[in-house]
């Protein structure tokens, strides 16, 4: 029998077959016992590295290997798995288990040298735009991320933590409790993942500032005009850059940070839209927006550093004028974000490399503001970001999954982008071809057959937007058609022919046929609800609204699908964003 290359995910850096096999007799044979006893977590890997094993199948410490790397050697006489640290041994054990699962009676003799391109391979999940996953679902996510070699997780929070004394803000959000954060933190650490606290401290504070108690902290307490759209916004979203705001943030950080062992914290800082319109108007006119922003950012970073933490911050404001990037707080880590294919990651990363900055690059899954995902954009955006991170020596990658305007997207639509992007962050060259079925198996805990069917359906649905040439930034047309206010719907539909809408509806029906073959009930129903929402959007665009019975049916199914993975808080707000009547 000729040995076949094992199908591994993520694919390793170097793999070569030696020829021949290592027999694996049933228990209690030592080889079978060795495979059954491979480390399942970081603690077990650390203990194994302390042992001085001399058996034919053994785990070994190897000073010559890089951090998180491993060398696996399978010969006809035994197995040698070598690593320099517990993380490398843990990842090597994952690879060896994959080989054994595919070859239960005899392992193909081979050599594998593997290790990461990016020191930081992070994932950020938005849990503030209505949808807060259940604790069970978050723990499931952590296990899946460990299989994808993720070593940093951030849960984006604006108000969805139970801050003591601030019940008015989070009482209807089903927030994470301190004990829940601590449990997630322990489970992350056990699987080699750093749970980095993420809490916005400047912009995106509308969840707080809409309440009278906090309104005095706002840059524009009586409302503001969005600089990009010209729309008037009733609820403030940006804190004023003064000492009162700093004291407020200090108190929140002191309540939040002690529940994490990480010595980092992402303080946000992106999109302070109102800056210069209200409290800081005269200051901005004298000094310029970027100078005012930078001065306040430095004070926020100082709060974090005084608490023994390294701040991360979203780098969009400073990168509007790269001359200011050199003046950013020295110890802080800027995060370059961009979610469109063609974003100038190389230009921005090159500038930070010239400055000698440690920084992260953040692409996205392109699933938010969509019911089916925007897969081609996601795959291109991620590949461009990760390539730039490697070429310009970034600290790593933070793949983001946002939930703008209600997290209407079914969770499975993120699986293909996550699988592709996180595998490339591990080893870019080896993972150019995405392994969609493996991603679905890991993230959905699906068997091989169902994973393959699910991947096929997700790949089809993710290309829905290509049915209509009109493109809109950062969202899908079907989502825009269903969520647009009546006065804005005509503009959204402008330039879209009835023929193209009908083509998209036919494409959706083809997707429905694929989804109906999925055996896992929750995944199948989530995707069917997404298809029905997209269909409702296209029908609304051509002048056909759901009748009251149809609308109530869809709303009921939406609620049921939501509660399979997420908490109750935010559900009704998410539903209010859908114009089903």
Q: What is the CB-side half-sphere exposure of residue 52 using CA atoms within 13 A?
A: 0
* Distance in angstroms (rounded) separating the CA atoms of residues 151 and 118: 10
Q: What is the pLDDT of residue 31?
A: 97
Report, at the CATH architecture level, how domain 14-114 is classified: 2-Layer Sandwich (3.30)
Query: Where does the chain hold its CATH 3.30.379.10 domain(s)?
Result: 14-114
* Distance in angstroms (rounded) separating the CA atoms of residues 374 and 413: 9
Q: What is the pLDDT of residue 2?
A: 65
Given a cut of 60, whether residue 34 has pLDDT beyond it is: yes
Q: What is the pLDDT of residue 581?
A: 77
Q: What is the pLDDT of residue 512?
A: 98
Instruction: Kindly state the average pLDDT of the residues 228-247.
Output: 94
Sorting pLDDT into bands at 50, 70 and 90, what band is 328?
A: confident
**Locus of tokens 């080989």:** 99
Q: What is the pLDDT of residues 443-488, one digit of tens each?
A: 999 999 999 999 999 999 999 999 998 888 999 999 999 999 999 9
Instruction: Please state whether the predicted TM-score (pTM) of the whole model is above 0.85.
Output: yes
Query: Where does the chain hold its CATH 3.20.20.80 domain(s)?
Result: 200-317+326-336
- Is the sign of the CA dihedral 46, 47, 50, 53 positive or negative? negative
- Smallest CA-to-CA distance from 577 within 462, 493, 480 is with 480
Sorting pLDDT into bands at 50, 70 and 90, what band is 192?
A: very high
Instruction: Kindly state the average pLDDT of the residues 242-247.
Output: 98
Given a cut of 60, whether residue 439 has pLDDT beyond it is: yes
Sorting pLDDT into bands at 50, 70 and 90, what band is 1?
A: low
Q: What is the pLDDT of residue 434?
A: 85
Q: What is the pLDDT of residues 480-527, one digit of tens each?
A: 999 999 999 999 999 999 999 999 999 999 999 999 999 999 999 999
Sorting pLDDT into bands at 50, 70 and 90, what band is 253?
A: very high
* Distance in angstroms (rounded) separating the CA atoms of residues 257 and 264: 9
Instruction: Kindly state the average pLDDT of the residues 203-232.
Output: 95
* Distance in angstroms (rounded) separating the CA atoms of residues 477 and 90: 43
Contact 74, 98 (CB under 8 A): no
**Residues facing 360 on adjacent strands:** 335, 396
Q: What is the pLDDT of residue 52?
A: 82
What percentage of residues in the chain have a pLDDT greater than 70?
A: 99
Q: What is the pLDDT of residues 419-432, one digit of tens each?
A: 999 999 999 999 99
Q: String of b and e for 121-154 (b: at least 16 CB within 10 Å)?
A: bbbbbbbbbbbbbbeeebbbbbebbbbbbbbbbb
3-state helix, strand, coil in the chain (%, to 5): 45, 15, 40
First to last CA, the chain: 63
The CATH code belonging to domain 200-317+326-336 is: 3.20.20.80
E strand map for 234-287: 264-266
Contact 236, 224 (CB under 8 A): yes
Structure tokens given for 258: 């002690």
């Amino acid at each position: 029998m000729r040995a076949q290359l094992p199908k591994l995910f993520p694919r390793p850096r170097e793999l070569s077959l030696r020829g021949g096999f290592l027999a694996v007799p049933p228990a209690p044979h030592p080889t079978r016992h060795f495979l059954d006893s491979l480390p399942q977590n970081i603690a077990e890997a650390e203990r194994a590295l302390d042992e001085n094993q001399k058996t034919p199948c053994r785990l070994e410490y190897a000073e010559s290997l890089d951090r998180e790397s491993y060398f696996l050697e399978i010969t006809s006489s035994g197995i040698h798995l070598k690593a320099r640290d517990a993380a490398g041994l843990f990842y090597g054990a994952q690879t060896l288990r994959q080989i054994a699962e595919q070859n239960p009676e005899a392992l193909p003799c081979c050599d594998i040298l593997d290790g990461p391109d990016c020191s930081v391979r992070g994932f950020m999940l938005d849990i503030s735009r209505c949808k807060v996953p259940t604790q069970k679902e978050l723990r499931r996510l952590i296990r899946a991320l460990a299989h994808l070699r993720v070593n940093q997780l951030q849960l984006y929070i604006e108000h969805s933590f139970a801050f003591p004394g601030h019940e008015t803000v989070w009482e209807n959000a089903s927030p994470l409790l301190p004990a829940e954060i601590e449990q997630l933190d322990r489970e992350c650490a056990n699987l080699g993942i750093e749970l980095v606290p993420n809490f916005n401290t400047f912009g995106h504070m509308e969840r707080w500032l809409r309440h009278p108690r906090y309104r005095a902290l706002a840059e524009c307490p009586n409302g503001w005009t969005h600089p990009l759209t010209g729309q008037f916004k009733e609820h403030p979203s940006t804190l004023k850059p003064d000492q009162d705001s700093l004291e407020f943030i200090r108190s929140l950080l002191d309540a939040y940070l002690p529940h994490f062992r990480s010595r980092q914290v992402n303080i946000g800082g992106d999109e302070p839209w109102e800056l210069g319109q209200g409290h800081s108007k005269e200051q901005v006119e004298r000094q310029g927006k970027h100078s005012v922003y930078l001065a306040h950012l430095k004070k926020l970073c100082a709060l974090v550093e005084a608490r023994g933490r390294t701040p991360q911050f979203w780098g969009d404001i400073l990168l509007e004028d790269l001359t200011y990037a050199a003046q950013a707080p020295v110890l802080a880590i800027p995060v370059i974000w961009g979610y469109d294919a063609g974003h100038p990651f190389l230009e921005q990363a090159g500038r930070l490399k010239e400055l000698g900055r440690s920084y992260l690059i953040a692409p996205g899954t392109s699933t938010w503001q969509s019911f089916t995902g925007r897969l081609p954009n996601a795959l291109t955006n991620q590949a461009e970001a990760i390539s730039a991170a490697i070429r310009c020596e970034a600290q790593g990658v933070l793949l983001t999954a946002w939930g703008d305007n209600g997290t209407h997207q079914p969770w499975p639509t993120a699986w293909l982008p996550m699988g592709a992007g996180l595998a490339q962050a591990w080893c870019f060259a080896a993972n150019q071809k995405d392994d969609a079925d493996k991603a679905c198996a890991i993230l959905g805990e699906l068997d091989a057959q169902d994973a393959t069917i699910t991947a096929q359906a997700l790949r089809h649905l993710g290309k829905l937007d290509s049915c209509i040439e009109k493109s809109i930034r950062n969202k899908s047309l079907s989502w825009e058609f269903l969520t647009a206010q009546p006065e804005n719907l005509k503009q959204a539909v402008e330039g879209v022919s009835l023929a193209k809408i009908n083509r998209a509806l036919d494409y959706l029906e083809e997707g429905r046929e694929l989804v109906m073959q999925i055996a896992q009930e929750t995944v199948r129903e989530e995707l069917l609800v997404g298809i029905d929402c997209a269909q409702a959007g296209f029908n609304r665009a051509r002048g056909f609204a759901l009748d009251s019975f149809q609308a109530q049916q869809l709303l009921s199914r939406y609620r049921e699908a939501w509660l399979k993975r997420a908490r109750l808080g935010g559900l009704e707000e998410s539903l209010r964003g859908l114009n089903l009547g």
